Amino acid sequence: MISAIIVAAGVGERVNSVVPKQYLPLMGKPVLAHTLDAFENCPAISEIVVVISPFHREIFLQEVMGRFSYKRVREFVFGGSTRQESVYQGLKVIKERGESQFVLIHDGVRPLISQNLLKRCIEGVREHQAVCSAVPCVDTLKFTRDGKTIEQTLDRTKIWRAQTPQAFEISLIWEAFQRAEEDGFAGTDDASLVERLGKPVYFVTGSEENLKITTPEDFLRAEEWLRWKDR
């Protein structure tokens, strides 16, 4: 069985809005509802655990669960003050039930996730136990220590930009989260917790379309992608 954790417990300070970005409308529908649609429509995924902030309980129930029907959303849980803590809360639910072999972890603010990418993640995790969606870097990358001058130009052929979904065999990601907790390690994604166990994490090819909604401009970009897909 394959579960999904959608983390949506962030407060979204960068979008300058009282309504957090995962609940703002994208083509008339909350960002998070677009994300949930993609997972709901993927037959290989048996259940979805949504991680929300306790402050957003009402808006989540009204604007997402109240307006749309999701058969695969099994539960919602409250997240923590960091993304890592939020994922951990979702993972605990899935681990305690002991029904799933794999989990896909995805940011609620990446609403343009495609069925093809979900499929690549599922095939990848079945084969490799740990996979990370990522795209190769097209920009030339500069390393700086002082934020003012360039210290080094990095070899961009060796740099990939990580996205979500990231997918893992349950016992492996559980071990990674427990070890991170014991060591007080804070990572910005889930793969980094597995990497520090010394276990391989394989890339699956992500997509430029799978953008993370961070700024108001990202809403415009996401709408353009959606219009382009509709044509």
The span from the first CA to the last CA of the chain, in angstroms, equals 35
Alpha helices in the chain (DSSP H): 31-40, 57-59, 83-97, 115-128, 170-183, 191-195, 216-230
Look at the block and give the residue holding tokens 């097209």. 138
163's enclosing H/E stretch is: strand 160-169
Which is nearer to ligand C5P, 129 or 192 (by Cβ)? Answer: 192
Residue type, 107: D
List the interface residues with ligand C5P, window 36-55 (CB under 6 A).
51
Binding mask 55-94 for ligand C5P (x = CB under 6 A): ------------------------xxxxx--x--------
Place of tokens 């509709």: 230
Q: Decide whether 35 or 129 has the Cβ nearer to ligand C5P.
A: 35
Locus of tokens 């923590």: 80
SS3 of residue 84 by DSSP: helix
Q: Is 187 in the site for ligand C5P (CB under 6 A)?
A: no
Q: Does 17 bind ligand C5P (CB under 6 A)?
A: no
When asked if residue 9 is in the footprint of ligand C5P (CB under 6 A), the reply is yes
Determine, following the binding rule CB under 6 A, whether residue 166 of this chain makes contact with ligand C5P. Answer: no
- Nearest distance from residue 82's CB to ligand C5P, in Å? 5
For residue 4, state whether it binds ligand C5P (rule: CB under 6 A). Answer: no
Distance CA 226, CA 26 (A): 9
Closest distance of CB 121 from ligand C5P, Å: 17
Supply 166's token pair.
């990231």
Cα(192)–Cα(175) distance, integer angstroms:
13
Task: Report the residue number, 45 or 109, with the smaller CB distance to ligand C5P.
Answer: 109
Q: By CB under 6 A, name the binding residues for ligand C5P.
A: 7-10, 22, 51, 79-83, 86, 107-109
